[in-house]
Amino acid sequence: MTDEKTQNSDPLNKDPLNKDPLNKDQGHEWLSKAAVLTEALPFMRRYSGHRVVVKFGGGAMGEAATLTSFAKDMVLLHQVGTCPIVVHGGGPQIGAMLEKLDIPSAFVNGLRVTDQDTVSVVEMVLSGAINKAIVAAIHDAGGMAVGISGKDGRLITAGKLAGKADEAGSAIDLGFVGEPKLINTSVVDALIGAMMIPVIAPVAAGENNDTFNINADTAAGAVSAAVEATRLLMLTDVPGVLDGDGNLIPKLTINEASAMIADGTINGGMIPKVETCINAVAGGTDGAVILDGRQKHAVLVELFTEHGIGTIITRD
């Protein structure tokens, strides 16, 4: 005989005609949630079957709550028919491990100079600890993910990135820092076809099987262009591209963004992010968005609401 207390504690066993009455505040809360779902539905249909590349930064991964929230967003995207592809970084974690191993770090124009010892640590941290932590978080949220690096299946073939010249005019050797030369989309196609969420670490092999460290933004942009993603979402620690008065610019074309770089409105660390978006859109992505990944459910707000929250860059 079923225990009455146990039966009543199970929401699936409750009599739908014997509900507890909602108070006024609860009623408003549920009506608000219903309104959100109604607004989101057309956007869910719009992105169903489409690919969305999401660049997830290393800084955000340091907070357990942020990683959990991000994983839930990826699972929800997948469950409503969107095909998320995650490309992640891991700069802070790499720096911490290098310091622990007493391996000195140096940067040129924001890029880590990567010798043989350093690239081994980079691969260990990116392809190991960070990649598998994201995969585990997605699994815990109810999804199915597969963690790979650019070396797996030759997903990304890289070439050595030429460093800019120093003050004396000599080229700066960045070591094993690479740039994508070829993207093997069949690897991503196979995982998506198997209903998996690809989680990609930006480590790649060169033509001579050397291992290269690739900037995560650059890797995400290259993957997005190659798979012709509907959206590239660049999660950062700023709201998006700002004008001269510090106000968010909701939308830019490639030409407008290029002009803002030329006149100095877009400057500093925002330049390479905008250039990545420009290259991704020029290469086949419908639109690239720079948005604040620190905001809870930023991906969902950007994709499934009327106005979004970041700066989208599109073709002219």
Domain range list for the chain: 90-229
* Mean per-residue pLDDT, 79-91: 95
Predicted confidence at residue 6, as pLDDT, reads 45
Predicted confidence at residue 2, as pLDDT, reads 45
Which pLDDT band holds residue 293 (cuts at 50, 70, 90)?
confident
For residue 109, is pLDDT > 80?
Answer: no
* Mean per-residue pLDDT, 189-198: 97
Contact 223, 233 (CB under 8 A): no
Predicted confidence at residue 41, as pLDDT, reads 76
Predicted structure pTM score: 0.86
Long-range contacts of 140-143 (CB under 8 A, 24+ apart): 140/68, 140/71, 141/68, 141/71, 141/72, 141/74, 141/75, 142/75, 143/71, 143/74, 143/75, 143/78, 143/79, 143/197
Which pLDDT band holds residue 9 (cuts at 50, 70, 90)?
very low
For residue 276, is pLDDT > 50?
Answer: yes
**Does the structural domain 90-229 have CATH classification 3.40.1160.10?**
yes
For residue 216, is pLDDT > 90?
Answer: yes
For residue 229, is pLDDT > 60?
Answer: yes
